[in-house]
Chains A and B, each alone.
Chain A
């Protein structure tokens, strides 16, 4: 998950201002807390994982204010196609504190849990993104096919209903604080899409050569609702000349309703099931962008 061999050019050391800001943050942590001194860079899988699951994490979490798992490192650098993943299996909030966050075009910060991400400097190339998007819901299971009738035991049985699609996960939301934003900070936030409903199972055939109508098809499962977008607060101490913030709300779309199962064969085709209803879309993410120079100046 993390490797000492950077995939991009070695980063410059922190500036005095970045280091002073970082040390001030560390001073607020319990005694003995230390900053991870080496730049974080992605390993062969292209990922840097910061997780409360120590087995998966590049850094061991520190216990921060309020017991919130806190990760502190001097720098994180993301090359094209690389990702910094912030995760927590239980979706507990986490804090990430960096002296500098740098991402090249195609680099991504993927936030999977509520987060407070702060960095003295964020140098984010156009084409890099910070994503706070919920996971999509699972697709519903297809309905079981109805059993076919036989001349001895007509008729066929109806098809089973498709399972409902899962609800999309809510966007994790979070607070992003950057002392100095350079280049283009693009933040995409939204709920996960709802899963599609499962298809209804086909009705069983009648089984009699001159029998009656085939069995009815199963109903399609309802689509899952999309997740809510969450709230994202972007605070900055300074926006460098030419720098830009691009907030993008992504809709957690409702899943599609499952297709109805076809009726079984017989002297007449069985009735198809009814289609599943589509899920509802979630609310869009709410962005709030604030100028907050005090912490940067402190």
Chain B
């Protein structure tokens, strides 16, 4: 996933950090509660899978968050704590994301993560995917066009369909009711994040939004009543199951983009990803009553599922810090 070996770093690695930038990284890591002595010195670049993963899961991460992981484990048992105060801190000198590559920031527990880098360069066709609430602190950030930071919540999964009701039989002439469809999962909210760039250049495109809701499962069909004879009554039809409710779309989250200095001609492009609520499950059809001299009663079709709610769009805030 990552090649931390400096000897294997690509020729397009970011320019070496200046002393001031190096000091900036160490000071920022320390200010955020991390260990400045653990800042990863070699430039990070993607491995054969095209990914650089920064995670609180040491087994998955290009930079092992040893101290942070210990804190996270402890705090996971403690439960609630301030979101920012809980964040793991991952410090690196330089990150280069090439064409078709990605920098992925994640935390299996969903806790916030703070990444501090001296230099971050994202080439055209590369992207940064923030899968958990993250803070990016970068001394020198450069983004090509078509090199976005993406903060989009995961889409909700679909609900399962309800089973069909059983048809009536000799000993049990009534059809069974169809099962209700399961509701679709809601789309996850966008993780949101905060970016602090000491100097920003290029075209910073930030794509944010909630995940789309999953579709509700369809209700099962009602079972048919058994046919009656000249003397026996027809079986009653089963009713259709209700459709599952559609999953609601996730909210977009809040994205704060801060910089101290910015290149002339640098551009910031906030892009809203519009999530959609899922499709409501359709109610199952009613079964047919058993015929005969004394026909059974008809079943009722199931009700369609409730529609999902729209998500709130993300809020972008762009500001200068001193």
A interface with B by C-beta (< 8 Å): 239-249, 251, 281, 284, 286-294
Hey, which chain A residues are within 8 Å of B262, CB to CB?
Answer: 291
Digitize B259-274: 1 where CB-to-A-CB distance is under 8 Å, 0 elsewhere.
0001111111111101
Could you tell me the distance in whole angstroms from the C-beta of A179 to the nearest C-beta in chain B? Answer: 14
Could you tell me the distance in whole angstroms from the C-beta of B322 to the nearest C-beta in chain A? Answer: 5
Digitize B10-44: 1 where CB-to-A-CB distance is under 8 Å, 0 elsewhere.
00000000000000000000000000000000000
Q: Are A291 and B269 in contact (CB under 8 A)?
A: no
> Contacts A251-B313, A293-B264 known; A244 to B272 CB distance under 8 Å?
no
Q: Are B265 and A292 in contact (CB under 8 A)?
A: yes
B265, B317, B318, most chain A CB atoms within 10 A: B318
Hey, which chain A residues are within 8 Å of B320, CB to CB?
Answer: 239-243
B316: Cβ under 8 A from any A Cβ: yes
Which B residues from 263 to 316 make CB contacts under 8 A with A? 263-272, 274, 313, 315-316
Q: Are B264 and A246 in contact (CB under 8 A)?
A: no
Q: Are A245 and B319 in contact (CB under 8 A)?
A: yes
How many chain B residues have a CB neighbour from A under 8 Å?
A: 21
Could you tell me the distance in whole angstroms from the C-beta of A72 to the nearest C-beta in chain B? Answer: 26
Q: Are A244 and B318 in contact (CB under 8 A)?
A: yes
Main SS of chain A's interface residues? strand
- Nearest-neighbor residue (CB-CB) of B205 within chain A: A288
The CA of A239 and the CA of B322, in the complex, are separated in Å by: 11
> Contacts A241-B322, A284-B272, A284-B274 known; A248 to B315 CB distance under 8 Å?
yes
Hey, which chain B residues are within 8 Å of A284, CB to CB?
Answer: 272, 274, 313
Hey, which chain A residues are within 8 Å of B268, CB to CB?
Answer: 288-290
The CA of A2 and the CA of B313, in the complex, are separated in Å by: 36
Hey, which chain B residues are within 8 Å of A249, CB to CB?
Answer: 272, 313
Contacts A243-B320, A247-B270, A289-B318 aside, 11 further interface pairs with beta carbons under 8 A come to: A240-B320, A241-B322, A242-B320, A245-B317, A249-B272, A284-B272, A289-B268, A290-B265, A291-B263, A291-B265, A292-B265
The CA of A286 and the CA of B274, in the complex, are separated in Å by: 13
Could you tell me the distance in whole angstroms from the C-beta of B3 to the nearest C-beta in chain A? Answer: 34
Q: Are B315 and A246 in contact (CB under 8 A)?
A: yes
The CA of A16 and the CA of B262, in the complex, are separated in Å by: 26
> What are 30 A-B pairs with beta-carbon distances under 8 A?
A239-B319, A241-B322, A242-B319, A243-B320, A244-B318, A245-B317, A245-B318, A245-B319, A246-B315, A246-B316, A246-B317, A246-B318, A247-B270, A247-B316, A248-B313, A249-B272, A281-B274, A286-B269, A287-B270, A288-B267, A289-B267, A289-B270, A289-B318, A290-B266, A290-B267, A290-B268, A291-B263, A291-B266, A291-B267, A293-B264
Q: Are B313 and A294 in contact (CB under 8 A)?
A: no
The CA of A240 and the CA of B263, in the complex, are separated in Å by: 16
Hey, which chain A residues are within 8 Å of B321, CB to CB?
Answer: 241
Could you tell me the distance in whole angstroms from the C-beta of B200 to the nearest C-beta in chain A? Answer: 9
The CA of A296 and the CA of B274, in the complex, are separated in Å by: 36
Hey, which chain B residues are within 8 Å of A287, CB to CB?
Answer: 269-270
The CA of A291 and the CA of B320, in the complex, are separated in Å by: 12
A-B interface, 4 closest residue pairs, ranked by CB to CB distance from nearest: A244-B319, A289-B268, A245-B318, A239-B320
The CA of A294 and the CA of B322, in the complex, are separated in Å by: 21
Hey, which chain B residues are within 8 Å of A243, CB to CB?
Answer: 319-320
The CA of A288 and the CA of B271, in the complex, are separated in Å by: 9
Hey, which chain B residues are within 8 Å of A294, CB to CB?
Answer: 264
Hey, which chain B residues are within 8 Å of A248, CB to CB?
Answer: 313, 315-316
Could you tell me the distance in whole angstroms from the C-beta of B290 to the nearest C-beta in chain A? Answer: 27
The CA of A130 and the CA of B164, in the complex, are separated in Å by: 56
Could you tell me the distance in whole angstroms from the C-beta of B9 to the nearest C-beta in chain A? Answer: 31
